[in-house]
Amino acid sequence: MKLENRKQKVVGLPRFMVRMSKYAVFALLLITISIGIGVVGYMTLGHTSFIDAFHMACMILTGMGPVVEMKTTGAKLFSSFYALYSGVAFLSITAVFFAPIIHRVLHILAVDIDD
């Protein structure tokens, strides 16, 4: 997923859309993995049902906060570390998704008019 440098021309819209879809699929994969980690952790350590674990993982990953009380020490530790991971993961996934858009805007602004 290499982007063009400032000496290259701005890619056309069809190629940009292909690039954007690749980044979106990669971001979706990261979200899926992150939610999967949370679901498995909450189901095994928090002893929650699948739907509660999924709900909790989604809420923590997006920064909304916990919805189910964790009763054991292991569950509380997992929930704490998952919340720390989720904060970084959410910002990183957002950056991955918006990288091609920001790059394109900056590239358009920096491209030489003579070309």
Banded model confidence at residue 9, pLDDT cuts 50, 70, 90: confident
Q: Give pTM, 2 decimals.
A: 0.83
CB 65 within 8 A of CB 80: no
* DSSP assignments along 4-53, one per residue: P-TTSPPPPHHHHHHHHHHHHHHHHHHHHHHHHHHHHHHHHTS---HHHH
d(CA 10, CA 1): 15
Express each pLDDT in 27-77 by its tens digit.
Answer: 999 999 999 999 999 999 999 999 999 999 999 999 898 888 999 999 999
Banded model confidence at residue 5, pLDDT cuts 50, 70, 90: confident
Token pair listed for 75: 């569950």
The pLDDT, as a whole number, for residue 1 is 65
Going from N- to C-terminal start, the domains of the chain cover: 13-110
d(CA 15, CA 22): 11
Q: How many CA atoms lie within 13 A of 17 on its CB side?
A: 3
Token pair listed for 99: 């990288």
